[in-house]
């Protein structure tokens, strides 16, 4: 009986595979929340909810949750960086921390985007980081070190010049890496058919690909300080342009700065970045409603900061106080360093909408006694302490953590992304689709 059941199960799986094989290849929208562990989703959900009525907010993530994934690199640690994580997600192969689309021996690995191009697909990338940052770069080029930003930008641009671009649409930040004293790619690339856009408001007037949009010197402003809809607007444009080509496409979307807020231990910043990602996902889900032959897969490369919802033994987390904070710690720090330190307490109280205790004022006073980089570092730590203590937020590190991350999927082939996976399994499953 067990043997018959096993044979029947194999037959059903084979039949399902054959059905997919006979269908037109689906579009793939691959979303990465950089640094987005489960705890960031929890924080976002509670921040959007009403504690008094216990009305828990619905998010765009909810219906798509399928499972979880491990994230460890091919290195002497269990904790990955974004480059190794993205390389695994893009190629299905683990590599060392710092690797951009190369294996442990620094040989190039074919990415799903490159394979998609070979198979006649259109491809694109949207990120709030610079386009040559670890995650987007790992999908579209190869380099032994993530930190050599100019060289990575050169490789992306050289693809265009040589007529071998691995993308049709690439939107994000990074102007300073493509417009340098030694090389001005912004002048060169249009000569080879690549439209360059540097103003977000120009996106609606772009009618066709290929296009590269570079909307900041490096990363885009944090959502809390700038435009929370920036990622959604770029996503909408990318989908519009790729859809026009009337062939299957693969689009990678990264909520890059969830990670940056985690590194900064900035809870308000992180929650607003999650809101930006949620808005982009809403655009994606609306697209899939009108184009059902579209697979959405979303995950994270790792989690960042060791975020805890509650701290110091107190059973409380004050989501209303999180949402009262008006600026990122980075923005507050930048403004405070340009003013008289006597004004710091009043400024911070105004930005966090909370009356500062003497303890908080003393923390700022300690920072005010420092000079140079020590002053910057001390002020940052004071602001982390104040915002975390006010909100009941805990942080264990300014780096990454090795916890499992969520996996979401919807659409054709979404059944391949359920249960407990490794990050390479996600990459391998997508590669099989585009092959």
Active site residues: 82
User: What are 419's strand-pairing partners?
Assistant: 67
Q: What Å distances lie between residue 385 and 11, 305, 307, 399, 434, CA to CA? A: 58, 14, 14, 17, 47
What are 424's two structure tokens?
């390479």
Q: Is 41 exposed, middle or buried (0-12, 13-18, 19+ CB in 10 A)?
A: buried
Alpha-carbon separation of residue 228 from 173, 258, 393, 403 (angstroms): 15, 12, 22, 27
Q: Render 318-341 in DSSP notation, one character per residue.
A: -HHHHHH--S-HHHHHHHHTTS-G
Rounded Cα–Cα distance for residues 342 and 202 (Å):
43
Cα distance between residue 416 and residue 267, in whole Å:
33
Task: Identify whether the C-beta of residue 189 lies closer than 8 Å to the C-beta of residue 205.
Answer: no
Q: 387-421: buried (b, 16+ CB within 10 Å) or exposed (e) per residue?
A: bbbbbbbbbeeeebbebbbbbbbbbbbbebbeeeb
- On whether the CB atoms of residues 400 and 80 are closer than 8 A, the answer is yes
Q: Where are the alpha helices (DSSP H) in 291-422?
A: 319-324, 329-336, 344-352, 358-368, 372-391
The number of helix segments (H) and strand segments (E) in the chain equals 17, 14
CA-wise closest residue to 48 among 266, 272, 233, 308: 272
How far does Cα 409 stand from its chain's mean position?
Answer: 16
């Amino acid at each position: 009986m067990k043997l018959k059941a096993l044979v029947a199960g194999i037959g059903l799986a084979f039949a399902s595979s054959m059905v997919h094989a006979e269908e037109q290849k689906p579009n793939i929208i691959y979303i990465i929340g950089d640094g987005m562990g489960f705890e960031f989703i929890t924080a976002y959900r509670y921040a959007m909810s009403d504690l008094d009525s216990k009305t828990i907010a619905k998010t765009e993530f909810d219906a798509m949750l399928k499972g979880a994934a491990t994230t460890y690199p091919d290195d002497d640690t269990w904790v990955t960086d974004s480059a190794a994580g993205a390389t695994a997600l893009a190629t299905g192969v683990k590599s060392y921390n710092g690797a951009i689309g190369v294996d442990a021996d620094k040989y190039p690995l074919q990415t799903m985007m490159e394979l998609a191009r070979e198979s006649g697909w259109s491809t694109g990338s949207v990120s709030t980081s610079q386009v040559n940052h670890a995650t987007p770069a790992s999908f579209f080029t190869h380099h032994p070190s993530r930190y050599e930003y100019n060289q990575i930008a050169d490789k992306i641009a050289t693809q265009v010049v040589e007529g071998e671009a691995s993308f049709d649409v690439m939107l994000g930040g990074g102007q300073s890496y493509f417009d340098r004293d030694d090389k001005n790619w912004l002048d060169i690339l249009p000569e080879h058919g690549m439209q360059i856009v540097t103003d977000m408001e120009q996106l609606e007037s772009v009618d066709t690909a290929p296009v590269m949009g570079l909307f900041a010197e490096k990363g885009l402003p944090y959502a809390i300080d700038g435009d929370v809809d920036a990622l959604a607007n770029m996503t909408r444009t990318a989908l519009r342009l790729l859809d026009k080509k009337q062939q299957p496409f693969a689009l990678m979307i990264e909520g890059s700065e969830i990670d940056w807020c985690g590194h900064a231990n900035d809870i308000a910043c992180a929650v607003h970045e999650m809101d930006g990602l949620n808005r982009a996902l809403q655009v994606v889900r609306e697209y899939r409603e009108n184009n059902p032959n579209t697979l959405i897969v979303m995950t994270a490369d790792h989690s960042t900061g060791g975020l805890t919802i509650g701290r110091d033994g107190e059973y409380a987390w004050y989501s209303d106080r999180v949402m009262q904070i008006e600026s990122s710690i980075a923005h507050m720090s930048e403004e405070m360093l340009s003013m008289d330190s006597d004004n710091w307490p009043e400024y911070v109280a105004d930005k966090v909408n909370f009356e500062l205790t003497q303890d908080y004022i003393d923390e700022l006073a300690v920072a005010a006694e420092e000079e140079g980089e020590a002053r910057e570092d001390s002020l940052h730590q004071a602001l982390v302490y104040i915002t975390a203590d006010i909100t009941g937020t805990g942080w264990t590190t300014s780096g990454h953590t090795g916890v499992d991350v969520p996996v979401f999927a919807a659409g054709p082939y979404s059944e391949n992304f359920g249960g407990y996976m490794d990050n390479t399994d996600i990459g391998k499953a997508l590669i099989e689709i585009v092959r």
